[in-house]
Each structure stands twice: as structure tokens, then as C-alpha cells.
Structure 1
Amino acid sequence: MSASVTEMKKRIEVNQGAEGEELGTWDGLESALAAAIFNAAVDAIMVINARGILQAANQSAETLFGFNSEEMLGKNISMLMPAPYAHEHDGYLYNYCASAERKIIGIGREVTGQRKDGSCFPLHLSVSEFRQDDQQLFVGICHDISERRKFTEHIAFLAKYDGLTGCANRREFIEGLSTAIDACQSNGRKIAVLFIDLDGFKQINDNHGHQVGDSLLKLIAKRFQKTLRDSDLLGRVGGDEFVVSIILDSKGETASHIASRLMESLKEPFIIDDRTLSVGASIGISLYPDDGLTADEVMNEADIAMYQAKVEGGGCIRLFDQALRERSEQVYRLLSRLRKAISLEQLELHYQLQFDIQTLQPCGMEALLRWRDGVNGLVSPDQFIPVALEYGLMTTIGRWVIRQACKDNMTLIEAGLLDVTVAVNICAPLFSEAGFCALVHQLLVSTGLPAERLELEITEDVAMNSSVQVLQTSDELHKAGIRLAMDDFGVGFSSLDRLKKLRFDKLKIDRSFVADLTENHSDQAIVKAILGMAKGLSMRTVAEGIETEEQLAFLREVGCSQGQGFWFARPMPLPELINWLQERR
């Protein structure tokens, strides 16, 4: 326990200090108020004389430094400091006391303290001077700022580095690359920038959760660091995007060799929580000064090259060239036009009818997205849909498609022209949204379309997503009476267990199996297998891309229930479809 003010006063009056001098009196804290403040203060409070001898210390000081008052009083304050600081303090105190200047000193200083166990820690210290009779005294008030310093250091770290992987963040990477460019301007050396996008990471993140995804990113960053030299700079600039800058040696490895080694480092699977996970990478490369003269230019061009690697299917390395720049500019021009088209409602739906193969009567229709550009006419979906997906526009477009398809189908039903189900393709981001089912319900209510007259088509990559959200969405749609179809079945990686759990009503046989159906025995075997499986799971089947009488005859013979293709009818906008139906009533 710390000594009370009265007890400390008595000690000061009768004791001798450790340095052989008499301890002075301390009458200034005789009042009860001063004693209460001194003993109750959360901060450590200590009083020393002009020789640095401790005259008093409160309970908080004992707790902070680990000494009791008997161990501290009468000793030099330097016992609470590491050796280098203790010597410096003694000299500073001597010089100050020898000076004629009298003022408050040391307000808000950060110093280093030392506990009884020898451990050191940062302190925030304020020191002021006062006099009692003829004695010159100093009072110090301090507290431990270890946590504050850690927080400050962490904030400073986050300003430059990625908090998850420890790699440089985008800002720090650009600054480091700019510094390297400045250095290479004088020596003529080249710099390679590698833009890395992980292949398959999103599926892992969706299927296993963000915690597993974060752990995977940490392990990937460590592998990259081990592959690179100490002089190379590794940054993380997006969710699953890394960048590397390398000052090339004219006699050393090329940028492509280094990129290959980075890809090679990912080949060994990652083990996380007893899960075995694998990812690949798509890498784009640009060079300074060949492809750009600033950090931003070289970074952007490496990004363009990476995007091309993605377009080509991923898992490859692409070098930037002028053709890629032109293609990138075309993509951005297309993106700008597409955004404008969305705002001006220039998108439209065409409908391709689906027919019962046995009766040849319409039994459904598929809504197909089209874009009629004011300058260039109809733009191919193969051109703009990948761009819309890449830049996050498909969720907005998808909501519009569902609403418009429901509205158009209701128009046909009310006109007595056609009473069938309309099928709408749903992109993965929209289907995975938590509020997707509520959105569909709202659109059905607003348009008046019965739930059983809407069918939602998803691709295999969405169906194979094992996230809870996808399963929950499928279950809610089924309960609401909305049909679910798997589009382009057979071209991806399907799981029979997923087909069962997601409660598909229909499988659409991809047109690639229908095109050579009458001549290719492998395609015939695949179609028969799909039909047999669908029958066993009580699912209807639709064959896409039927264009000949022979294809239709084969599909009728093997038991396919529905079909669509040019043999029946081409996709038509709603007014044309209405005319087509009226002519055939």
C-alpha cells in the first residue's frame, strides 16, 4: 500500500535519503483534499527533489512500476528508467536545477519507463516544478500508453499495408513503384508489373465462407513472398487481386519466368480446417518504360493484360500489347454506352417459344435479353453480357428482365393468345442476394403474374454453389410455386446431390449436344443419359438449338419432352410474337 500523506510527511522529516542527504519536508499536501486526490488518482503521481530522490508515490505508481512505496521512497527516480534514459535524465535534471530559469517543464512528453521485473514500456509524462519552503521539488504525473501506441502503430501500418496479408496496399504499391521508376530513369533498367487475379477464389469464398477465404489469402501471400526476392514489391489491391513490381536484371529472369514461378507456387493444394482447397491464377504483365512511363499507366496496362487472360479462360499469362489497349478502350466505350442504354431503357426482351415435342404445341417461352443501340442497331449478347457481369451491371439488368418478362407474359395471358410459363435467366450475383425471393414475390404481385407461370433458369456454376443462401433461395422459390430450371446442363460440373437438393423442375440440354446429334454417337449417348437421369428425378427436359427435322425426330424417339430452336420459331420481340400467335390461332 502507498504511504498516506501524513505518514510520508513524517518519513520525509526523519529519514535520510539513499544518496545520503536528508529528505525534505512536504507540507503542501497536508490538506485532506490534496491527500484524497493524490491517493485516488488513476495516473501515477511521484514527487522528487532537485537530486532526483523520490519523496512520495501514490498507489497507482506502485501498480504501474511494480514497486511498493518502501522500495521507492528515498531512491533515485532513475530506478524507474532503462539505463540509457536514466543517465540522460540525471544530466538534464542537474542542468535544469543549475539554471536560473524557473518554468513548468516536460508537459506531455513520451518517455520510456522500466518496471521492477525489468520490462520497459512507453509512458506519457507531465512534469512541473514547485517549492516547499526553501526546497525545490518536482511532481510527475504519468500513465502507460502501450495500448495507445499499439493502436497508433496499427493505424500507421494500415495506411500503407493490407491488414489481412501484410502486403503493400494500392497506395503504398503505387508509391513504391513510382520510386523504382524514378531510380530506373537514370540507369536504364526495366520494371515488370504483374497483375494477378486468382481463379476459383470466389467459389471458395462463397462455398466455405469469408473466414476460410481470408485464411486462404494469407497463405497465398506467404507463398508469393517466398517465391519473390526481397527487393520485389508485393501488393494486394483487391479482394483476390495481387500485384508485383520487379526491377529486371538484363541478364536475369524474364517477367514471364517470374510469373510462371508464381503460378507454380499455387499448384500445391492449401489445407485449411481439414479442407483441401485449390486455386489458380490469371496474370497480366506490363513493362516500364515499354508500355508506360508512370506507375498508374504500367499498373493499368498490366490490369488490361490480366483481363485478357481471364477472357481466354484463366490459368494463363498474357503480356500487354497495343491490341489489348485498343480492345480495352472498346470495352470501356461499350460499358459507357451500356450504362446509358440502361438509363434510357434501350434494352428489350425477345421471346423464343418452347414446344411440346410430341404435340408440337407451344408449352413455354424463354425471355432473351437484347440491346438495340441507337447507333449500331442490335448488339450481340455475347458482346455486352460479359461486360455487364464484369462491371456489376447484371443485377440491375436482371431485376428489369424479371419485371418485364412477367409483365409481357401477363399481356399474352390476358389477350388469350398464350398461357404458358416464361423462363428468365438469372445471373449468379442476383440469385445469391439475400433478398432475391422477396424481390421476385414483389414483381409477381405488381404484375399480377401467377407464380406457376414464372420459371427461373440458373447455370451450373450457380447450382454447384454450396452456400446456405443458394439452398435457402431454392427452397423458398419451390414453396412459392416458382419453377427452377438448370440452363446449359452438361457443359459444367454437376452434382446429382445438388440437383436433388435444389429441386429443379427442368433440365435444359445444351445446344452443343444437339448440333451434331444425328451423326455423333457420343452426343447421342450423352443426351440419352441426361434424359434417363431427368426421368428418374421427375424432371422435364428441354433440348436447345433444334434446327432440323432429323434432330427433332431423334429427340422425340428418345423421350425428350420439350424443345426450342429455329426449327420451331426464332426469338421475337413481343409485338412480333403477338402477330405470330394471332396468325396461327
Structure 2
Amino acid sequence: MSRPLPILSTPAAAPPEAAPLTRYSPIPWGLVIVLSLLFVVVWLLPPLGGLKQSDTIFPLTLHTVMESFSFVVSVLVFAVSWHAYSRERAGNLMILACGFLAVALLDFGHTLSYRGMPDFVTPSSPQKAIIFWLAARYVAALTLLTIALRPWQPLARPRDRYRLMLWALLVTAAVFVSELYLPDFWPTMFVPGVGLTGLKIAAEYGLIAILGATAVILYPKTQGKPAFDAANLFTAVLITILSELCFTLYSNVNDVFQLLGHTYKVIAYFWIYKAVFVSSVRDPYLRLSLEMAERQAAEARIQFLAYHDPLTELPNRILVRERFERAAERARVQSSRVGLVYIDLDNFKTVNDSLGHTLGDLLLQGIGQRLQSLVPAGSTVSRQGGDEFLILLEDVERPREVESLVNRIVEQMQQPFAIQDHDLSTSVSIGVSLFPDDGGDFDTLLKKADTAMYRAKGAGRNGYRFFDREMDKDVGERLRLSNDLRLALARNEFVLHYQPQIDLRTQEVIGAEALIRWQHPELGLLAPGRFIGIAEDTGLIVPIGEWVIRMACHQAAAWQRAGLPPLVVAVNLSAVQFMRGDLVGTVASALATSALPSRCLELELTESILIQDAENILGTVQRLNAIGVQMSIDDFGTGYSSLSYLKRFAVDKLKVDQSFVRDLCSDPDDAAIVRAIIQLARSLGLKTIAEGVETAEILALLQELGCDEAQGYYFAKPLPADNFSAFLSQRLS
């Protein structure tokens, strides 16, 4: 057996998908380490001692440039956060915005108060500059601590952002007024010729403590999938701590620690702005981009599904129709053909019913993929729905090309599919129509390919047929018979013929098989092969079958009342009767109204009936056995021939199909099969009856093999009820 082919997970085609939102950047530990090492080097290395006392290394111009940068960045932090505000954004951004509005104004006061700058209301001095500096630093530190402590969620009320801005302006105004007009309110932070006071240094360490606590709170929020850009804020806090450490060490406002501290401050402000930009501008933009991409993907998906099957993602009928129109135009110009190959899976319902729809869907996907691998380039494989597929073949030069392809498809579709823990095998029935030979438009060709496919299915499945004109006649007749069949019961057009069944040991007539005929008002007497299939497809077999059982029982009872020996009348059953009708009720009613003993009714089941929904069928058969009717297996040997169902269903008789009986004397294989069936039945305590006995030689061989009963033209053709009575009377005389 060939190895099963696995189902591929890659779809036939897929619409574009939106990109996910970019994750926040990690903490730049390398930068923090480099800046920390630089601070340690400047602080501890003796060769740099001269820089620590220099009053020229950080001139006024450079200080003004750096502070101007800090002022601009602080204003940008406020402006970006304020104008990007929405009710869905976290209120922490508004706290940061308003806090840095105050920082910007205080830094501006610090810049104007620096030694060497023109007087700003009062003379510039280190004391004045330090007050503005510390006020700005504490506002910044407390702002960062607040947003680290507060959950990252929107403000309770949108107007709260105006209250935050008012508080920021009030704090700023209080510092400006007190320092410019009440300078003695502030303690001394710097003594000329001496340097920083202990209070100033303590204030700096207070800042470091606040910033350290902020870093400790922020760090856990940088892990996993943070709700905000905690990494950039954490980085800014660490660099600000280095900056404040520098401001605890300077001896004059122009030395290296002032330069290094202001440099770290500029870097820290950049990282704060980066965090604000990410949260207020980049993330909303990315979210908008994501929403737009998702909408575009949804629109693309809708467009895709308008022309493709959702399950297999193969083109649907709309798309294949459009491609056919283009292919047909080219074929007209090039004098070539276009082929439509209609494919239907055989017995796909069994997979769904036994293994579930999930495996059935996977099988359909696998079949679509395998078909795509088999067809030539430029062809289109389409799913029409259910278990039906359609292949559009373009630029066909000769029908032989199509025949070669469908042969390959029939062969390859029998190779097993490996789906989860199952190896599933299937077969296909295929119908083919060609443009322009069989029609000039898509609908006509599709209909004819469908007709050819049903002809292939009717011929035994697992094969193909090309459309021919005779099929059109058959379709027309089938439609006519289907319409007429609906009126046949009401018009009393059905009749039963009876074929005698003979006991091969005594040569007595022991039963009769009831066979339906249709006395069509225009077409004459029709054999069941002409209309039973139509009756099963339309469901009319249920009322027709009920009529047959009822009439057969009444006729058998009538013969007994007429003084003829009791006979067993055999009635064929359809699988549809088991599925849709009340078979047990029909049989019980027919026996009761006809007063026929139940042992005189035999119901013939085909092997295919017994494997469909076996548990329900078994229940029905058991209830029929309880009534007392006999059960036989019709056409035994042509189906599954399983010993398990013979044991479970407790049948009484096996009927040897006439296909084995007809050539019994000339075909050793048929003889071996018949011998095996008879021996099997005998070992199970069952009787055997052979149908299709037409010669004395066949009869003799059946007797030699031990067959119990027989029927066939050698004894009599199926006869109308009156003729059967005459035949039986003649046999008895």
C-alpha cells in the first residue's frame, strides 16, 4: 500500500495581514554603564584634579546653550503630550506634561539668573540660580515619582488636565515671586569663596533619594510587555541621578562637574522626550497604522472571499466563470478547446458521519491541494461547494490531453491522505465537457460536465465520462420520469409481478419475489431499473415501498384464501426506506390489515444498507425480527461480504447474485465464489437462494453445490398475479 500523503498546512492563497504593534525598546544598559564610568573617572582619577578647580571649562555660553536645549525639550514634552491628549490616553502623560511645563519655566529662570547673565529683576548670582535650579529639579523628580506610582490609566475627568496645568503654573509663580521679590525667604545654598553649603548638598542627595525610589518603582514595569515606555523613563531617571551626583561635587559654576552634570541633564531630558514621543505620537500612529492595516486586510479578505472558497481558499464558481470567459475568447482566436472537469467525491458523507466534519474539512483541503499539484500550469482548480470540485483547463489541443489528466486524477485520488491519526482513502467520479464541442457558454458546459459526472457515478464510481449527446436524451427522460413518477401512485399505475422461488430439493414452489413494474401511460410497461433510482433520489421510494409491502402482503394472503399453499413473498427494501420511512410500522400495518402470517413475509436487504448507520439499522432489523418476518441478504457477494454483520443482524437467507450464477458452468472463479457462499451460509445455519438460473446445467450444478433454493427464467419470468396463480396451479396439478 502506498504511503499516505500528508495534508499540507499552507493555504492555496492568503490575503495580506497587518503587522503587529512595535514593542518598546529595551533599557540601554550600555549607555548607562559608559556614563557611570565617565563619572567615576572624572571623580576619582588624580590627573583630572585640575579640571575640578577650573573656572573656564564650562563657560557661560555653553551653559546657556545647554539650558536652552533643556528648556526647549521640556516645552516639547509639554506640547506633545498636551496636544496628543485623548480621553483614552493615560493621565500620567498629562502629569508629566504639566510637571515639565513648570520645569521649563523654572529652568528658564535658572538660565537668566546664572552668573554673568544680565540682571533678571534682581542681580544674577549663584544663590539665585541655585534656587531656580533646585525648584526645577524637585518638580521634575516629584513628577517622575508620581507617574511611576500612579497606575497607567486615563484621568478620572478630562478637565483634570487643566487643573494640573494650573497647579504647575501656581508652583512656578510662587518660586518666581519668592525668589525675585522675597529672596531672604530661601536659605543660603552657596557662599562665595567657600562653595556649596551643606543644605545645598543635602538637597541634592534628597533629589537623588527621590530619583532612586522612582527607579526602583519603574524597573519592574520595564519587564514583560510594559503598558508604557517604562524603559526610556527608567533610563532618564538613572542618568538624572548621575547628573545630581555631579552637582554635589562642584566647587565653582564653571568646573568640570558642572559641565558633566549639565551634559547628563541634556541626555536625560532627551530620554524623557523620547518616552513622551513614543507614548504620545509613535504608539498612537502605530495603532492608527495597525487599525488601517487591519481594515485593509479585512477589505482584502472580503474581496478574496468574494472569489474564493473559505475552506480551501480555491477559486469559487464566480472566479472560474470569469476565467472561463477569457479562456474561451482565446480559444476562439486560436481554434483550441477549453475543458471543464467536474469532480465529485465518492462516499464523502461516510467520512463526515463517521469521523466528524473537522476531519472532513481537512480531507477537502488535502484534495484541493493534491488537485493543484496534478493540473498543468495555467489551469484553475475550483471548489464548487460540498464535495464537488471543478477544473478549468485552458488551451486544450486534443481531448486526449484531458483524458490523460483525468486518468491521473482518478489514480492519485485513491492514494491515502494522512490526516491526524487517520489514513483516509477516497475515490472520485469525474465528468468532462469541452468548449466549443459541447457548448458555447459556461453554464451549458457546467451542466453537461455534471451530467457526465453522474453517468460516471452511475457506472460504478471511481471513473470518468466525457459528455456525449446521448446523455442529453437520458437527462431529458430522467426529468420526464421524475415528474411523471410523482403522479404514478395517485393514478394507480404501479403493478407487481411475481417470480417463483423453487426448493431445489423438492422442486416445489415455496415463495415468490414481488417485483414492481410501472405501467406508464405513454412509455408502456417499465422495468424497475428505469425508475427506482429516480424514486430513491427524490424520496418517492418511501411511499412506493410502502405500497409494495402492502400489496405484496394482500396478494399473498389472497392466494392462501384461494386455497393455494402458503408461500413466502419476498420484497426488496431500499436504504432510503430505513432512513426516512417508518418501516416497522409499515410492515406491522400491512401484516395486520392483510391477515398474512408474519413468517410468510421476507424482506430482502442489500449489503450496502447494513453498513449505513449500522446501530440504527440494527435496531430496525431487531424490531422486524421480533414481528416474525424473515430477513435475507440480496445480491450477496457484490458488496462488503462481512461476517460481522451476518452475525449481528441475524438474517435467515443469503441470495447469490445472478452475476455469479450466469456463468457458473463456464467460469471457474464464479463457481468458486458460489461454492464459498453456500458453504459459508451452511456453516452459519443460513439458507441460500440463487437468482438468474436460466439453464438446466446451471440448475444441476447448483444442486450439486448444495444450494437450497433458486429462481430465474428457467422456471418462469416474473408474472402478473393472475398468471402466477395459474403457474402455481399448474405446478400443483
Structure 1-normalised TM-score?
A: 0.69
User: Displacement, 1:253?
Assistant: 8.9
Residues 77 and 536 (structure 1 numbering): CA distance in 2 closer, same or farther, change over 3 Å?
Answer: same
2:435 to 285, 288, 307: 288
Q: Is 345-354 or 433-442 further displaced after alignment?
A: 433-442
Question: In structure 1, what is the Cα distance between the partners aligned to 2:165 and 2:454?
Answer: 69
> Are the aligned partners of 2:497 and 2:721 in contact in 1 as well (CA < 8 Å)?
yes
Question: In structure 2, what is the Cα distance between the partners aligned to 1:74 and 1:218?
Answer: 47
Residues 171 and 47 (structure 1 numbering): CA distance in 2 closer, same or farther, change over 3 Å?
Answer: farther
Find the counterpart in structure 2 of residue 97 from structure 1.
none
1:515 to 658, 662, 680: 662
Structure 2, unpaired ranges of 5+:
1-85, 106-153, 167-224, 234-274
- Check if 1:375 corresponds to 2:522: yes
User: Displacement, 1:534?
Assistant: 0.8
Find the counterpart in structure 2 of residue 318 from structure 1.
465
Find the counterpart in structure 1 of residue 719 from structure 2.
572
Find the counterpart in structure 2 of residue 562 from structure 1.
709
Residues 378 and 236 (structure 1 numbering): CA distance in 2 closer, same or farther, change over 3 Å?
Answer: same
Question: In structure 2, what is the Cα distance between the partners aligned to 1:502 and 1:364?
Answer: 22
Find the counterpart in structure 1 of residue 682 from structure 2.
535
Find the counterpart in structure 1 of residue 312 from structure 2.
165
Find the counterpart in structure 2 of residue 499 from structure 1.
646
Residues 201 and 569 (structure 1 numbering): CA distance in 2 closer, same or farther, change over 3 Å?
Answer: same
Aligned counterparts, 1:467-486, within 5 A: 467-486=614-633
Find the counterpart in structure 2 of residue 328 from structure 1.
475
User: Displacement, 1:328?
Assistant: 3.4
> Are the aligned partners of 2:327 and 2:395 in contact in 1 as well (CA < 8 Å)?
no
2:606 to 453, 459, 467: 459
Residues 80 and 556 (structure 1 numbering): CA distance in 2 closer, same or farther, change over 3 Å?
Answer: same
Partner of 2:465, secondary structure, is: strand
Question: In structure 2, what is the Cα distance between the partners aligned to 1:236 and 1:45?
Answer: 55
Aligned counterparts, 1:73-472, within 5 A: 78-83=281-286, 113=288, 120-121=290-291, 160-178=307-325, 180-181=327-328, 190-202=337-349, 204=351, 208=355, 210-228=357-375, 231-248=378-395, 254-342=401-489, 344-389=491-536, 393-433=540-580, 436-437=583-584, 439-441=586-588, 444=591, 449-465=596-612, 467-472=614-619
What one-letter code is carried by the residue in structure 2 that aligns with 1:502? Answer: F
Residues 252 and 324 (structure 1 numbering): CA distance in 2 closer, same or farther, change over 3 Å?
Answer: closer
Partner of 2:531, secondary structure, is: helix
Find the counterpart in structure 2 of residue 488 from structure 1.
635
Question: In structure 2, what is the Cα distance between the partners aligned to 1:506 and 1:251?
Answer: 53
Residues 392 and 298 (structure 1 numbering): CA distance in 2 closer, same or farther, change over 3 Å?
Answer: farther
What one-letter code is carried by the residue in structure 1 that aligns with 2:675? Answer: K
* 1:319-369 deviations in Å (ceiling 9; x for gaps): 323343344334434444444435534222212222322233332221112
- Structure with bigger helix share is 2
Question: In structure 2, what is the Cα distance between the partners aligned to 1:266 and 1:69?
Answer: 56
User: Displacement, 1:458?
Assistant: 1.9
Question: In structure 1, what is the Cα distance between the partners aligned to 2:619 and 2:165?
Answer: 70
Aligned counterparts, 1:44-83, within 5 A: 67=227, 78-83=281-286
Residues 423 and 46 (structure 1 numbering): CA distance in 2 closer, same or farther, change over 3 Å?
Answer: farther
User: Displacement, 1:295?
Assistant: 0.8
User: Displacement, 1:238?
Assistant: 4.7
Partner of 2:461, secondary structure, is: coil
> Are the aligned partners of 2:542 and 2:581 in contact in 1 as well (CA < 8 Å)?
no
Question: In structure 2, what is the Cα distance between the partners aligned to 1:278 and 1:526?
Answer: 27
> Are the aligned partners of 1:46 and 1:54 in contact in 2 as well (CA < 8 Å)?
no
User: Displacement, 1:282?
Assistant: 2.7
What one-letter code is carried by the residue in structure 2 that aligns with 1:82? Answer: Y
The number of aligned residues is 495
Question: In structure 1, what is the Cα distance between the partners aligned to 2:708 and 2:554?
Answer: 27
> Are the aligned partners of 2:542 and 2:580 in contact in 1 as well (CA < 8 Å)?
no
User: Displacement, 1:487?
Assistant: 1.0
What one-letter code is carried by the residue in structure 2 that aligns with 1:191? Answer: V
Residues 229 and 555 (structure 1 numbering): CA distance in 2 closer, same or farther, change over 3 Å?
Answer: closer
What one-letter code is carried by the residue in structure 2 that aligns with 1:529? Answer: A
Question: In structure 1, what is the Cα distance between the partners aligned to 2:681 and 2:353?
Answer: 27
* 1:448-505 deviations in Å (ceiling 9; x for gaps): 5554333221223334557433344333433443322111223344122222222221
User: Displacement, 1:296?
Assistant: 0.2
Question: In structure 2, what is the Cα distance between the partners aligned to 1:19 and 1:175?
Answer: 68
> Are the aligned partners of 1:17 and 1:74 in contact in 2 as well (CA < 8 Å)?
no
Q: Is 372-381 or 316-325 further displaced after alignment?
A: 316-325
Residues 526 and 318 (structure 1 numbering): CA distance in 2 closer, same or farther, change over 3 Å?
Answer: closer
> Are the aligned partners of 1:206 and 1:465 in contact in 2 as well (CA < 8 Å)?
no
Q: Is 390-399 or 538-547 further displaced after alignment?
A: 390-399
> Are the aligned partners of 2:344 and 2:430 in contact in 1 as well (CA < 8 Å)?
yes
> Are the aligned partners of 1:464 and 1:494 in contact in 2 as well (CA < 8 Å)?
no
Question: In structure 2, what is the Cα distance between the partners aligned to 1:403 and 1:445?
Answer: 10
Question: In structure 1, what is the Cα distance between the partners aligned to 2:416 and 2:165?
Answer: 63
Residues 267 and 561 (structure 1 numbering): CA distance in 2 closer, same or farther, change over 3 Å?
Answer: closer
User: Displacement, 1:403?
Assistant: 3.3
> Are the aligned partners of 1:3 and 1:69 in contact in 2 as well (CA < 8 Å)?
no
Partner of 2:707, secondary structure, is: coil
Q: Is 201-210 or 422-431 further displaced after alignment?
A: 201-210
Residues 536 and 18 (structure 1 numbering): CA distance in 2 closer, same or farther, change over 3 Å?
Answer: farther
User: Displacement, 1:113?
Assistant: 3.8
Question: In structure 2, what is the Cα distance between the partners aligned to 1:462 and 1:559?
Answer: 28
Q: Is 458-467 or 350-359 further displaced after alignment?
A: 458-467
Residues 331 and 442 (structure 1 numbering): CA distance in 2 closer, same or farther, change over 3 Å?
Answer: same
Question: In structure 2, what is the Cα distance between the partners aligned to 1:231 and 1:45?
Answer: 62
Q: CA RMSD in A?
A: 4.7
Structure 1, unpaired ranges of 5+:
22-42, 56-64, 84-111, 115-119, 124-144
What one-letter code is carried by the residue in structure 1 that aligns with 2:516? Answer: L
- Structure with bigger strand share is 1
Question: In structure 1, what is the Cα distance between the partners aligned to 2:496 and 2:360?
Answer: 38
Residues 216 and 550 (structure 1 numbering): CA distance in 2 closer, same or farther, change over 3 Å?
Answer: same
Partner of 1:302, secondary structure, is: helix
Residues 233 and 521 (structure 1 numbering): CA distance in 2 closer, same or farther, change over 3 Å?
Answer: closer
Q: Is 529-538 or 175-184 further displaced after alignment?
A: 175-184
What one-letter code is carried by the residue in structure 1 that aligns with 2:661? Answer: V
Partner of 1:478, secondary structure, is: helix
Partner of 2:365, secondary structure, is: helix
Greater radius of gyration (CA): 2
What one-letter code is carried by the residue in structure 2 that aligns with 1:380? Answer: A
What one-letter code is carried by the residue in structure 1 that aligns with 2:575? Answer: A
What one-letter code is carried by the residue in structure 2 that aligns with 1:298? Answer: L
User: Displacement, 1:256?
Assistant: 2.6
Question: In structure 2, what is the Cα distance between the partners aligned to 1:161 and 1:515?
Answer: 52
Question: In structure 2, what is the Cα distance between the partners aligned to 1:460 and 1:334?
Answer: 28
Q: Is 73-82 or 281-290 further displaced after alignment?
A: 73-82
Partner of 1:248, secondary structure, is: strand
User: Displacement, 1:374?
Assistant: 1.2
